[in-house]
């Protein structure tokens, strides 16, 4: 019965991480626009956020595939090395998002498609979102896999 929770946890943390990355990207874009003297209202912020989330289905699919590969590799590694679930899945989430962002840049011949990733801070915040997603996944697994 507890194994039924695993896909729900996986989809939940994937959606959480994808939404966090979309939010970070939106905030970094709005900071840049406000530095160019564009006024942004709270209503505009939430409209843009909802549009980005609704139009980000392909991005969510990419995050789901990234986490699927990273978490499968982590499960195999945990079979041979007894690591803490929270730490191992947090590292997997961080590295998974890092690799995903690097691969998207390589596939498009060096063009950085995600605007928030153009700064070191944005890139790091995206990877930290993956770390948090992986940590939450490991934490939820700890609760049901005792």
**Nearest Cα to 30, choosing from 115, 132, 110, 119?**
115
Residues 73 and 95 sit within 8 Å (Cβ to Cβ): no
Q: Convert the pLDDT of each residue in 63-111 to its tens digit.
A: 999 999 999 999 999 999 988 999 999 999 999 999 998 888 887 766 6
DSSP characters for 60-108?
HHHHHHHHHHHHHHHHHHHHHS---HHHHHHHHHHHHHHHHHHHHHHHT
User: What is the arithmetic mean of pLDDT over 14-24?
Assistant: 94
Which residues, in sequence order, are CB contacts of 59 under 8 Å at separation 6+? Answer: 18, 21, 22
pLDDT of residue 38: 84
pLDDT of residue 1: 66
If one compares 73 and 117, the residue with the highest pLDDT of the two is 73
For the chain, first and last CA: distance in Å?
13
Rounded distance, CA 27 to CA 4, Å? 35
Give the least confident one: 46-50, 67-71, 112-116: 112-116
Average pLDDT of every residue of the chain:
89
3-state secondary structure of 16: helix
Q: Residue 114's pLDDT band (boundaries 50, 70, 90)?
A: confident
């Amino acid at each position: 019965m507890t194994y039924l929770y695993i896909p729900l946890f996986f989809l939940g943390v994937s959606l959480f991480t994808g939404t966090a990355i979309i939010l970070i990207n939106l905030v970094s874009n709005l900071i840049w626009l406000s530095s160019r003297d564009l006024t942004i209202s709270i209503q505009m912020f939430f409209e843009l956020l909802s549009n980005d989330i609704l139009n980000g289905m392909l991005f969510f699919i990419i995050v789901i595939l990234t986490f699927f590969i990273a978490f499968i590799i982590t499960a195999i590694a945990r079979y041979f090395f007894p690591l803490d679930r929270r730490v191992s899945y947090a590292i997997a989430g961080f590295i998974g998002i890092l690799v995903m962002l690097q691969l998207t840049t390589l596939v498009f011949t060096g063009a950085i498609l995600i605007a928030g990733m153009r700064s070191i801070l944005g890139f790091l915040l995206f990877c930290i979102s993956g770390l948090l997603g992986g940590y939450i996944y490991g934490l939820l697994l700890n609760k049901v896999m005792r």
